[in-house]
């Protein structure tokens, strides 16, 4: 029986072969090697095949230029209706890794709406050269403008800055934290959203890709959490951190094979729990937030979605059907669904919540 996902695999292989070599993209040599290894017998027609991973699905991370980077639009900011004051992050400083696009950018927007000054951190190429005032400047302006549009009477406009860092490199991480402290004076909150996923069956997963994945998803989270904690400890100040995990840290997604990603997110979940215990006595709270399937970069204005998730699903409606059929709420999440949960975990409202894994997955992990 032909796989329903064969087109996806073929498309992915084409993209893979054409991808430019670089940090996040496998080299054509690796791609060729992977495809040669890939000619094993089909393992699809066995009992329970609907809840199995499918080795035909290979999805490398898409090239940078195919990914969008705009904040979402939504009605109503913090001053529109009464709410608990304890939700406010007013005058606090938050740092968001992976803040150039996707979930990180939307989360940063939620923090700005809640009054926080925010440092966007990314390795996005434009963040490396801030003097060009390109993407990074665009993001910071966008966030401030959307805050002002939705809060015309606000007494204070949050400060938003952009910084380059490769989260997997300790030297780059420490330099970035020093730069953020220099520009903002302090850091109170951390959200680690830098991360990526790729799909290859475990027996054919290129080892250099696996190491890169863990270096970004696990080491990167660890390095930022510990570096911000050192700063908080020096200041003898309380702080709260949200490490972005994934429901894949608790369950095994089907049908796409992604064992190393699942392992990395299980690591992030337990990293949050372990650090929460280690730092509880110095009032640094650490929680994990695990999204389910989020439709990253839903159409903004009239732009067509082309983010990693949106792009993959636009090209593979069968995959979307399969995913949605497994979600009790019957739909994928909107990135803005994460704003409230993250603000809750960062704010004083969760001051006795420590080391949890908050799943925002439409009930996926319950069944
Ligand atoms: N989108 C989803 O459905 C979903 C679901 C569960 C978990 N997640 C997790 O949420 C996080 C964000 O996902 P997303 O969908 O927004 O992805 P995304 O690709 O849109 O954004 C990730 C950002 O991280 C940055 N980044 C990657 N490697 C980096 C590095 N070494 N140093 C600094 N920055 C780096 C990228 O440049 C990008 O801006 C990831 O950790 C992902 O695993 C996403």
- Is residue 132, in this structure, part of any structural domain at all? yes
Q: For residue 194, which atom of ligand 1 is closest to its CA?
A: 24
Name residues whose C-beta falls within 8 Å of residue 110's C-beta, 6 or more positions apart in sequence: 336, 338, 339, 340, 342, 343
- Is residue 318, in this structure, part of any structural domain at all? no
Atom 21 of ligand 1: nearest residue by CA position = 102
Q: Residue 242: give its domain's CATH number.
A: 3.40.50.720
- Is residue 320, in this structure, part of any structural domain at all? no
pLDDT at 225: 99
Question: Which pLDDT tens digits describe the chain residue by residue (367 residues)?
Answer: 333 333 344 344 333 333 333 222 233 333 333 444 445 555 556 667 778 888 888 888 877 777 766 666 554 554 567 889 999 999 999 999 999 889 999 999 999 999 999 999 998 766 665 544 466 678 899 899 989 988 888 889 999 999 999 999 999 999 999 999 999 999 999 999 999 999 999 999 999 999 999 999 999 999 999 999 999 999 999 999 999 999 999 999 999 999 999 999 999 999 999 999 999 999 999 999 999 999 986 333 223 333 457 777 877 888 889 999 999 999 999 999 999 999 999 999 999 999 999 999 999 999 9
CA distance 104 to 84: 24
Number of domains in the chain: 1
The catalytic residues are: 246, 261, 265
CA atoms within 13 A on the CB side of 299: 5
CA 136 to centroid of ligand 1, rounded, Å: 16
Angle between helices 317-325 and 308-315 (to 10 degrees): 110
> Mutate which of 59, 166, 193 to test ligand 1's pocket (most atoms within 8 Å of Cβ)?
193
Domain coverage including residue 220: 85-298+335-361
> Mutate which of 195, 264, 311, 335 to test ligand 1's pocket (most atoms within 8 Å of Cβ)?
195
CA distance 194 to 224: 10
Using the 8-state DSSP alphabet, how is residue 159 labeled?
P
CA 270 to centroid of ligand 1, rounded, Å: 19
* Statement: the pTM of the whole predicted model exceeds 0.85: no
CA 42 to centroid of ligand 1, rounded, Å: 32
- Is residue 291, in this structure, part of any structural domain at all? yes
């Amino acid at each position: 029986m032909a796989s329903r996902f064969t087109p996806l695999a073929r498309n992915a292989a084409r993209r893979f072969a054409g991808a430019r070599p670089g940090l996040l993209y496998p080299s054509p040599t690796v791609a060729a090697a992977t495809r040669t290894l890939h000619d094993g017998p089909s393992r699809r027609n066995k009992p329970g095949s609907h809840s199995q991973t499918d080795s035909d699905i290979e999805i490398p991370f898409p090239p940078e230029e195919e990914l969008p980077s705009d904040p979402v639009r939504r009605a109503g900011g913090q001053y529109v209706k009464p709410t608990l004051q304890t939700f406010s992050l007013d005058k606090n400083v938050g740092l968001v890794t992976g803040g150039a696009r996707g979930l990180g950018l939307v989360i940063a927007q939620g923090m700005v709406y809640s009054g926080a000054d925010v440092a966007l951190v990314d390795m996005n190429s434009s963040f490396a050269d801030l003097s060009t005032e390109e993407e990074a400047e665009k993001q910071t302006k966008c966030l401030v403008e959307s805050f002002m549009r939705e809060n015309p009477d606000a007494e204070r406009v949050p400060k938003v800055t952009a910084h380059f860092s490769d989260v997997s490199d300790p030297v780059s991480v420490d330099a970035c934290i020093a730069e953020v402290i220099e520009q903002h004076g302090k850091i109170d909150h951390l959200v680690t959203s830098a991360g990526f996923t790729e799909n290859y069956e475990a027996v054919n997963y290129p080892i250099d890709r696996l190491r890169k994945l863990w270096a970004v998803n696990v080491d990167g989270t660890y390095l930022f959490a510990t570096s911000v904690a050192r700063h908080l400890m020096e200041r003898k100040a309380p702080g709260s951190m949200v490490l972005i995990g994934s429901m894949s840290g608790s369950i095994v997604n089907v049908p796409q094979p992604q064992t190393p990603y699942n392992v990395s997110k299980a690591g992030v979940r337990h990293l949050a729990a372990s650090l929460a215990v280690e730092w509880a006595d110095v009032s640094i709270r650490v929680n994990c937030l695990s999204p389910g399937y989020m439709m990253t970069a839903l159409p903004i204005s009239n732009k067509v979605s082309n983010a990693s998730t949106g792009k993959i699903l636009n090209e593979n409606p069968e995959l979307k059907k399969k995913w949605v059929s497994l979600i009790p709420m019957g739909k994928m999440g909107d990135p803005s669904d994460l704003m409230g949960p993250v603000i809750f975990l960062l704010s004083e409202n969760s001051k006795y919540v420590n080391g949890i894994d908050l799943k925002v997955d439409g009930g996926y992990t319950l069944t």
